[in-house]
Amino acid sequence: MRVLVIHGPNLNLLGERQPEIYGTQSLADVDAALLAEAKVLGVELHAAQYNGEGEIINAFHAARHEFEGVIVNPGAYAHYSHAIADAIASLCIPVIEVHLTNIAAREPHRRTSVTAGACHGSISGFGIQSYLIALRALVEIIGR
């Protein structure tokens, strides 16, 4: 089973950018935790980080032929990128959206995700655990 993790804009700055909101763990820490869990689950996991909307869309287009599922943290694009939502909706594989923080408890402009509706499900508010919960759920969904 092959799973792609797409980290969106500014996630390359995890651990440095607003640690009071996003925590002190780096993107490398997130990927290391995911890879460790993937190994336990018998999953081949690939992770990539993109700051550009077009790059994320291209990654989704490529994923449909290479992976059985995708975990995505679209970052701020979650709140306004109908183009990414359309790319997700075009896939025949499950996609789970994750956020480190609870977007429903954030600033008003962050409380709605336009991309979540195109996904199989969404998980937010659990820090790095959001990703790990998503990976376990994706393995369950794909295995059905």
Active site residues: 22, 99
Nearest by Cα to 43 from 32, 31, 34: 34
Gap between the Cα atoms of 67 and 87, Å rounded: 15
Tokens of 16: 């440095």
CB contact at 8 A, 7 and 47: yes
CB contact at 8 A, 59 and 5: no
Gap between the Cα atoms of 91 and 84, Å rounded: 11
